[in-house]
Amino acid sequence: MTTRYDPADLGTERLSPALRAEALEQLLTERGLVQTDVIDGFVAKYESDVGPLNGAKVVARAWVDPEYRTRLLANGTAAIKEVAWGGGANGEHIVVVENTPTRHNVVVCTLCSCYPWPVLGLPPSWYKDPAYRARVVREPRKVLAEMGLELGDDVEIVVRDSSSEVRWLVLPERPAGTEDLTEGELVPLITRDALVGVAKVAAP
């Protein structure tokens, strides 16, 4: 049975953000303004074709091609477009920062949920959660540990705050034991969480 929503609830706190989105989709569909298959196709595109796979391809290229890595760190937006689609309103200015054994970058958007969709797909629910957005700035080491990433006290943690002007993307450390892997073999190892900085890339 299809749930019916009252349009009056869209601008209130009676519905959670997820239910408000569902209610809005239902309202627009009923009025013939959008088609569900179009919405489904858009979501699928960002989840797969324009999702984390694009970011993984960028990182894999940087790991095997030192010249590309240099270009990526100097001008992320331009270098990303060499490997993957990086356009659109959420990919116009992407800055790439590199994690090292002594410095770890983690990304947040403290104001809303600015996020480089073209290379990371749709933002996960935890990224949009007010608790993550507030706490990772104040106590990043503790938040990362709660998410399964323990970093030593000798590792500096830098929190990068995304905005409508700048989106951040992390170039994670290449794990030991992957020296003989090809670019294509490296791609499946690279996760969205590593590109946000809440995880490291695990060796195969």
Catalytically active residues, by annotation? 109, 112-114
CA 132 centroid distance within chain: 14
Instruction: Give the whole-angstrom CA distance, residue 146 versus residue 144.
Output: 5
Any idea what DSSP says for residue 50? T
CB-facing half-sphere around the CA of 39: CA atoms within 13 A: 12
| Element spanning 135, H or E | helix 130-138
Determine contact, residues 204/177, Cβ cutoff 8 Å.
yes
Phi, psi of 103, deg, nearest 5: -135, 130
146-150: which pairs have CB atoms within 8 A and are 24 or more residues apart? 147/193, 147/198, 147/199, 148/199, 149/198, 149/199, 149/200
